Chain A
Amino acid sequence: MSLWAFYARNSQEVLGLAGQHLYLVAISTGAAIGIGVPLGVLLTRRPAWRGPVLGVANVFQTVPSLALFGFLIPLPLIGGIGATTAIVALVLYALLPIVRNTYEGIAGVDGAVREAGRGMGMTDWQLLTQVELPLGLGVILAGVRVATVVSVGTATIAAAIGAGGLGVYIFRGVAVVDDTLILAGALPAALMALAADGLLGVAERRFAWRAK
């Protein structure tokens, strides 16, 4: 059966799974931004925490994703079978690029600009919101972009713990050795990753002040 015929026959299901996939990625990336950006900012204020925090985030990144999903299942509250567990795992994965790029984006702001801002009587909050975050935004968005693209890929594995998404087709295709079925999941996931990469890339260049 050709891929197009498969899509034609299962359009409802395809859209449903793609929607689930998008949901997993959007929620987890959103949460990772919500946690990662403040954490990255914190590291610029508490340099001593940088090593430990980035180290822990790095460890999450090195755990194979299937294993991380597995580890989370027995945990109370965040664990179990389904989307919640998958989202927690995806957040842990997305954290490192976002935290690291937030830190680097802010640390990379010209020291003279920071000194001038402070010397003119900006509070730390004003300096952060009016100077450091806007100037670091390009680098921070680059981190978000990496996190999003990785999440789209990793989210396919979430199907293994019953979270749904496009991985459902891939796992089913692997199980019954059906290339069309694998492709039915892999192709939209790849397109989703490319779209996210492209859109966030545009946003990133739009805010890359440093180049000027």
Chain B
Amino acid sequence: MQGLGYRLPGRGTGDEGSGRFLVQDVSFSVGAGETLVLLGRSGSGKTTTLKLINRLLEPTSGDVRVAAERAADLPVTRLRRRIGYVIQEVGLFPHFTVERNVGLVPQLDRWPQARIAARVRELLMLVGLDPDTFARRYPHELSGGQRQRVGVARALAADPPLLLLDEPFGALDPITRVELQREFAALEGRLGKAMVFVTHDVREGLLLGTRIGLMLQGRLRFLGTPDEFRRSDDPECKAFMAAA
């Protein structure tokens, strides 16, 4: 899987009312097997950047490429079905069983039932949930950690080359969070996907990221490996390191 990169050169999105730029001139690319962690304070534009990639927000300038195709040229639903999306609140459909939640994108893409069922089992095992126990449960019958596991399984369902994760472990209790972070770190290597991972937790970022992108006031302040990040002289990087 070559040529998998996402460039967001010179992008910015204006808040239409005020004309303020929430994100400006952010450029980066992520290859297969890489996890770019977007780190930053609240309001620094991390989530906005993420939503520009799957076009939940439309860029006012610049462009996004997914696997060499311009995101803006693809029908938006097709683009999004190729991009796994995990959010902090999980957003499982409360009226769907775990099985139907995980099989959502394959169902939208009209896979045959048997293939969806097999894929769902495979994914539930991948995220550490026994299919026989959990497939028929409803989201309200799960713990927070289990719900987020289902959220990750759902994002992986159609085997998208790119995964966007917006503070996926942010709402979990500290013990579950560490547990899921460790498992996720192991999963990253096995999956070989390109990932963009938003967090404000610098320890999480250093654990999971192959590269760190530090955002400040809508701009990408620093981009480099975790080691480079640790050694950086940038005051914002230092501020984050002090918090670790």
Chain A residues with a Cβ under 8 A of chain B: 110, 112-123, 126, 130-131, 134-135, 209-210, 212
Contact = CB atoms under 8 A, between A and B. Distances in A.
Given A113-B93, A116-B92, A121 B87 contact: no
30 contacts: A112-B89, A112-B91, A113-B92, A113-B94, A115-B56, A115-B91, A116-B85, A116-B87, A116-B92, A116-B151, A117-B91, A117-B93, A119-B56, A119-B80, A119-B85, A120-B81, A120-B85, A120-B108, A120-B155, A121-B76, A121-B77, A121-B79, A121-B82, A121-B108, A126-B108, A130-B93, A134-B95, A135-B95, A210-B94, A212-B94
A166 B60 CA distance: 63
Interface in B204-218: none
Contacts of B151: 116
Contacts of B82: 121
Given A113-B91, A115-B91, 15 more contacts: A110-B89, A112-B91, A116-B151, A119-B54, A119-B85, A119-B87, A119-B164, A120-B155, A121-B78, A121-B81, A122-B77, A130-B93, A134-B95, A135-B93, A210-B94
B129 to A, nearest CB: 18
B196 interface: no
Interface in B106-162: 108, 138, 140, 151, 154-155
Nearest to A118: B56
Contacts of B56: 115, 118-119
Interface residues of B, number: 27
Most chain A CB inside 10 Å of its own CB: which residue of B77, B89, B90, B95: B95
A117 B56 CA distance: 11
B93 A131 contact: yes
Contact of A110 (B77, B85, B91): B91
Which applies to chain A's interface (DSSP): helix, strand, loop or mixed?
Answer: helix
Contacts of A122: 77, 108
Contacts of A114: 91
A126 B90 CA distance: 19
Contacts of A134: 95
Lowest 4 A-B CB distances belong to which pairs? A116-B91, A112-B89, A121-B80, A121-B81
B104 interface: yes
Interface string B58-85: 0000000000000000001111111001
A210 B139 CA distance: 12
Nearest to B81: A121
Most chain B CB inside 10 Å of its own CB: which residue of A112, A114, A120: A120
